Amino acid sequence: MPAAAAENLLCLNGLTIRPGEQVLTRLVISRLPSGTVIDIPVHVFRAVEPGPTVLLMAGMHGDEVNGIETIRRLIRRNLLTPLRGTIIAIPILNIYGFLNFSREVPDGKDVNRSFPGNPRGSLASRVAHRFMREIMPLIDYGIDFHTGGAVRANIPQIRCLLHQDEQTDALAAAFAAPFTLHASLRPGSLRETAMQQGRRIIVYETGESMRLDEEGIDMGITGTLRVLQYLGMKAEAPLPAHPTVVCLRSTWLRARYAGIFRSLVHLGQYVQEGQVFGSVADPYGERSVRLESPVAGYIIGLNHMPVVNQGDALVHVARTDSAPSRADFAPPFDEKPVRSTEEEPEVDEGSDGLGEEVW
């Protein structure tokens, strides 16, 4: 075999995958107590022409179905055949969580806080280690697909380390999600471990756990195709419907009181400082507290659970550190807050001052 051809071979899970081949292989992780083998299907799509290797991965948290469905549709629609280079697609990394409708693996640990892993560690650590051994050495870039937590929905958004690495900035700009959010690297995460090894991974978030977000899935597909086009792996890709809104800071507004939460805002809406975004009322009709935003910004995450405890996250506000101009507003973003057709939330005007509380 010529030296050039040998250099372009890809070895994965004991297989040698040549240029131009498409392969489905399965990484065996462990067994269930019943003896059932748990393995991770991995799709590999190789072009004849050499180029970068891109990872598309979802299901790090087993209950986050939107990313799983995004990659499934890309595979099913034959959209992952590259003009050059290699695409590695893993629809579900955390098979355990997927089977149990859970974010974690059975030992209760988060795979995305377990990198680089340990072959003799916890189950989450072993999953991370197998990924690091088999997949990480092969890739140059990646998109990690995620979804908001239980009953907390995220507007379609890219999360990455902005303005510190030109390659990461370029990937985020090519994806062109409605929002791009600066997100610091977290210890034990896939992004942090990849960055330490000189590989660039961006995270795409949309929707909420265990529910399909069709608009977010479509944006995930088109954004992925734009990244592949930017890397020279696709000839064309759909243009984004709107310019991305870049946010360098974000704040979760949390409940200071327990009760019934009623939101008066929606995802993508811009709220002003001091604007009422909802209310929390006791379930007995005795008191209602008006919620005012202490910051101005876009609503990029929203809690859909009406019953909240103290400290629960209610809305996620992303800040651009500059007020939006009229040109920045276009569907799905609103120039003015949408007024509820229902009555305004009641405000207690008693001497305790709860009605004036700012969250």
Q: The tokens of 259 are what? A: 């009760």
Q: How confident is the model at residue 349 (pLDDT cuts 50, 70, 90)?
A: very low
CB 179 within 8 A of CB 123: no
Range in 25-29, 62-66, 126-130, 330-334 the model is least confident about: 330-334
Is 214 a residue whose pLDDT tops 70? Answer: yes
Residue 290 bridge partners (DSSP): 279
The candidate with the shortest Cα–Cα distance to 55, out of 93, 98, 112, 5, is 93
Is 115 a residue whose pLDDT tops 80? Answer: yes
What span, in angstroms and rounded, lies between the C-alpha atoms of 275 and 295?
Answer: 9
Provide the pLDDT for residue 8: 86
Residue 42 bridge partners (DSSP): 25
Is 6 a residue whose pLDDT tops 70? Answer: no
The candidate with the shortest Cα–Cα distance to 267, out of 144, 110, 155, is 155
Is 209 a residue whose pLDDT tops 90? Answer: yes
Element (H or E) spanning 171, and its range? helix 166-175
Q: How confident is the model at residue 324 (pLDDT cuts 50, 70, 90)?
A: low
Determine the distance from the C-alpha atom of residue 166 to the mean position of all C-alpha atoms in its chain, rounded to a whole number.
21
Q: The tokens of 169 are what? A: 């900035």
Condensed to tens digits (0 to 9), the pLDDT of residues 140-161 reads 999 999 999 888 999 999 999 9
Query: Who wins on pLDDT, 323 or 227?
Result: 227
Is 45 a residue whose pLDDT tops 50? Answer: yes
What span, in angstroms and rounded, lies between the C-alpha atoms of 267 and 179?
Answer: 11
Q: How confident is the model at residue 305 (pLDDT cuts 50, 70, 90)?
A: very high
Element (H or E) spanning 265, and its range? none
Is 122 a residue whose pLDDT tops 60? Answer: yes
Exposure string for 116-140, b = 16+ CB within 10 A, e = fewer: bbeeeebbbbbbbbbbbebbbebbb
CB 243 within 8 A of CB 315: no
Provide the pLDDT for residue 322: 57
Residue 330: DSSP 8-state: -
Q: How confident is the model at residue 345 (pLDDT cuts 50, 70, 90)?
A: very low
Q: The tokens of 111 are what? A: 């795979």
Q: The tokens of 60 are what? A: 């790090």
> How much of the chain exceeds pLDDT 70, in percent?
87
Q: Averaged over 36-58, what is the pLDDT?
A: 96
What span, in angstroms and rounded, lies between the C-alpha atoms of 151 and 129?
Answer: 31
> Across the chain, what does the average pLDDT equal?
88
CB 244 within 8 A of CB 298: no
Q: Averaged over 21-48, what is the pLDDT?
A: 93
Sorted by sequence, the CB contacts under 8 Å of residue 124 that are 6+ apart come out as: 104, 105, 107, 109, 110, 111, 113, 114
Provide the pLDDT for residue 150: 81
Is 31 a residue whose pLDDT tops 90? Answer: no
SS3 166: helix
Q: How confident is the model at residue 32 (pLDDT cuts 50, 70, 90)?
A: confident
What span, in angstroms and rounded, lies between the C-alpha atoms of 211 and 288?
Answer: 31
Provide the pLDDT for residue 18: 97
The amino acid occupying position 196 is: Q
Please state the pTM of the whole predicted model: 0.88
